[in-house]
A = this chain, B = another copy of it.
Amino acid sequence: MKSETRSKLMGVSVATLATALFKRGLRNQVIQGVHPVAPKGRNMVGPAFTLRYMPAREDRNQLSEFRNPKHPQRVAIETCPEGHVMVIDSRKDARAASAGDILITRLMMRGGAGIVTDGGFRDAATIGALDIPAYHARPSSPTNLTLHEAIEINGPIGCGDAPIFPGDIVVGDEDCVIVIPAHLAEEVADEAVEMSAYEDFVVEQVKNGQTITGLYPCTKEEHQAAFAEWRKSNGR
């Protein structure tokens, strides 16, 4: 992705992006049911690199499987491109882990931009202290082999009921994670920057006692003018 697009997306909220996608008829792009393992004070932004789990069949998922250098979970961690966000389809099942602190530390060292699962992470307290954004449903200590078999790297998946295609742009803030279809990323980023400027203006007005009627959304010309003024004085 373009670094300008990344910068823009670092500065807008998932709520604003959700509205921009809603305008385009996309209603299901928020990954439902996940939250930050720990707040990072900045957005997570990057193209999706995916991993899909299927239910584990016991004979194929003994601890010895991890000794296989081609085990897809480990290969995914070692091949996720720099700046990408790993998105894991764990079938919304957090009863066993999607990954743990060692793998996520490795992903961080390799330059990963973040990681999301609709299941849970083990060693979550440790992961929360790492300098990489991570989102999950809840902490989950059992090894992934208990219920999940990593089966496919970088194919199209579902995560938290949202559709994810490799290369889609993933953005997470302190509330939620959203997936922007790759071809829309730039225009949506631009629009969201504009929307954010207006929202910031509105918040300031509302904190000064202004009613939202006619202001949010803007249906009165006077607010358009005031906003133009505000942009100038605030360099937005």
Taking beta carbons and an 8 Å cutoff, which residues of A are in contact with B? 13-15, 17-19, 22-30, 32-33, 35, 39, 54-60, 63, 66-67, 69, 74, 77-78, 91, 93, 95, 97, 100-103, 105-106, 109, 122-125, 138-143, 145-146, 149, 151-152, 155-158, 161-163, 173-176, 178, 181, 199, 202-203, 206-207, 209, 211-214, 216-217, 219
Contact = CB atoms under 8 A, between A and B. Distances in A.
A30 B156 contact: no
Contacts of A54: 156-158, 163
B58 A175 contact: no
A67 B102 contact: no
Nearest to A165: B57
Stoichiometry (number of copies): 6
A93 B161 CA distance: 10
Contact of A106 (B15, B69, B211): B211
A155 B156 contact: no
**Residue from A91, A163, A181 whose CB has the most chain B CB atoms within 10 Å:** A163
Across the A-B interface, give the 3 residue pairs with the lowest CB-CB distance, nearest first.
A139-B175, A125-B174, A15-B122
Contacts of A123: 13, 15, 175
Contact of A25 (B28, B30, B59, B212): B59
Contacts of A57: 26, 28-29, 163, 181
28 contacts: A14-B141, A15-B122, A15-B142, A23-B63, A26-B57, A28-B58, A29-B57, A30-B141, A54-B158, A56-B163, A57-B163, A57-B181, A63-B217, A66-B216, A67-B217, A67-B219, A74-B212, A74-B213, A78-B211, A78-B213, A91-B161, A101-B203, A102-B216, A105-B207, A109-B209, A139-B174, A139-B176, A141-B175
Contacts of A211: 78, 106
B102 A141 contact: no
Contact of A175 (B125, B145, B213, B216): B125
A125 B39 contact: yes
